[in-house]
Amino acid sequence: MIKSFHIFYLFFITSLSFGATKPNIILIYTDDQGYGDFSLLNPDSKFKTPNLDRLAKEGITLTDGHSPDTVCTPSRYGLLTGRYSWRTTLKRGVFGAEKPCLIKDGRMTIASLLRDNGYATAMVGKWHLGMDFPGDKGNRDWSKPTLDMPLDKGFDYFWGIPASMNYGVLAWFEGRFAKVPPTLFTSKKPSKIAIDDYRIMPPYQTTPEEAPEPEESGGRKMNPKTKGLEVAKDFVDLECLDRFTTQSLKWMDGQAESSRKGKPFFLYLPYTSPHKPVIPMKQFKGKGKAGAYGEFMIETDWHLGRIMQWLDDEKLTENTMVIFTSDNGPETTWKKRMDKFGHPSNGIFKEGKRSIYEGGHRVPFVIRYPDLIKSGSRLNQPVCQTDILATLAEMIGAKLPHDAAEDSFSFLSELKGEAGRLEKILIHHSSNGRFAIRKGRWKLILPKGKESSELYDLNQDPSESIELSKKYPKVVQDLRAEFSKAILNGRSTSGKTLQNDTPIWSDVAHLVIQYSKK
């Protein structure tokens, strides 16, 4: 009797301890990867993504998963803060490399949440949210530290590049310094590899004036700002993926033993692929049937496999959550790629990057965590990357303050396979400032300029081909009211009303004024 009680007590204590265990978290963010660039979801794909397919088969695929925006900077802001970027001063487009960071000091991020709850935190890869470099272009003092960057936003460790390669300041930064500073200059060079593309590679020049005129294959007119990009003498574009993965593995090597002893780690790994320049390593040449783009995606998948193999080798797979998703839909070259190779990077969806239609923001979204998630499961309800912060907070038992994660809804119950409780709205935003609101099956694209409202039933018409606003005026009216509420309340979640970072702006003024009065 006493022995049986002792065994039960040990089992009970062990169960409590297991339930309190915080998993390691690896968040991998690709750049311009479309929904159709995931072979498990695209029967017409001209290349395979076996490691991503494996991740999905061992985890859950969010078939209705969305990026917070349709271009780089605002999506990254939404991902890390659980708040839509259009609530900030950035209403359209993206940042360059040099800019005050869009994430203000003191705002909660996924990294700061996890760091404050016992995690070691690291970011390796492309930032693209703004950094404060020492001095001005052509007059830098690289012996001074870079400020207002990942180390100020919750990350203990940073290794990577400031932004997309077409914005310059290209060097391998570790912490606040580049080991080889970007003291040379270059411009885009035409690529011989991919469709309408460019390269960032030597030779480099000693002054901005000596840099050649920017040029891209396909005869596309270049932005003059891409002349004289700052670059380090050891920077070569095609090394990014390998360097990011290798550095991630190196950092995780230093965390493995601590993780086994109860201190978990969080790695944010934003890759630069398959964003231009499309530059697969030589070992992937000739792979797949979608040209250099397919080869680049196969390489990206291979690097994911390196991360997964490390987890297997270290026996950390079971207690590590791996999240894989993309910042927006595919670049406009998807059209020529479809014509030439028959590969639909946007899957069955309409348009791609920058667009308010589904192809602009419905993206690959997979989560594996064997200790929590049933293998091979699917979630077909709409989920946004802004929801990751609230989900992680609930998972580790952290309470969110009222002025954080304003657009983040936890979907932890859905990950565990429990009865769904997602009763939410998503707000989509195009790079030119047009909005849409999604609730359940319905998606309402709001009017802008001469463009009228468009209503779609995505359950029946995921390719957005049958416009229904005149048939369902009540649905239009209700969704417009929901949109206005989300704007005016400074949040789409329930809670205390907050302020956006700016007064009502031109893209929404007519919508909010008109519909808030009804």
- Structure-block tokens of residue 18: 């297991």
Q: Are 242 and 232 in contact (CB under 8 A)?
A: no
Helix (H, G, I), strand (E, B) or coil at 452: coil
DSSP letters for 151-169: GGTT-SEEEEESS-GGG--
pLDDT tens, 57-115? 999 999 999 999 999 999 999 999 999 999 999 999 999 999 999 999 999 999 999 99
Q: Which helix (H) or strand (E) holds 56?
A: helix 50-57
Cα angle, residue 391 at apex, residues 313 and 248 outer, rounded to 5°? 35
Calpha distance 327→70 (Å, rounded): 7
- Give the Cα-Cα-Cα angle 432, 434, 437 (nearest 5 degrees): 145
User: How far is residue 204 from each of residues 132, 183, 185, 211, measured CA to CA in Å?
Assistant: 24, 10, 6, 7
- Radius of gyration for the chain, computed over Cα atoms and rounded to the nearest angstrom: 23
pLDDT of residue 392: 98
**Under 8 Å CB-to-CB from 423, ≥6 apart: which residues?**
none
**What is the per-residue pLDDT for 120?**
98
Integer Cα distance of 251 and 121 in angstroms: 10
> Quick one: pLDDT at residue 138?
87
Distance CA 128, CA 341 (A): 31
Architecture label for domain 434-516: 2-Layer Sandwich (3.30)
Q: How many CB atoms lie within 10 A of CB 15?
A: 10
Residues paired with residue 178 on neighbouring β-strands, in sequence order:
173
Secondary structure string (H, E, C) spanning 218-246: CCCCCCHHHCCEEECCCCCHHHHHHHHHH
Query: Which of the residues in the chain have pLDDT under 50?
Result: 1-20
Give pTM, 2 decimals. 0.95
What integer pLDDT is reported at residue 40 of this predicted model?
Answer: 97
398: left (phi over 0), alpha (psi -120 to 50) or beta: beta
pLDDT given at position 517: 60
Burial class of residue 376 (count of CB atoms within 10 Å of its CB; 0-12, 13-18, 19+):
exposed
Cα–Cα distance for residue pair 206/182, rounded to 1 Å: 11
Locus of tokens 């498990």: 40
Q: What is the pLDDT of residues 300-352, one digit of tens each?
A: 999 999 999 999 999 999 999 999 999 999 999 999 999 999 999 999 999 99
**Domain spanning 23-415: CATH superfamily:** Alkaline Phosphatase, subunit A (3.40.720.10)
CA distances from 234 to 143, 166, 240, 275, 457 (A): 18, 17, 12, 21, 51
- CA dist list (Å): 380 to 16, 67, 297, 445, 458: 32, 15, 25, 21, 11
Distance CA 201, CA 54 (A): 34
Domain ranges of the chain: 23-415, 434-516
Q: Do domains 23-415 and 434-516 have the same CATH topology?
A: no
Structure tokens at 409: 């809804």
* pLDDT given for residue 1 in this prediction: 42
Task: Give the CA angle between residues 20, 24, 25 to the nearest 5°.
Answer: 120
Give residue 518's pLDDT: 52
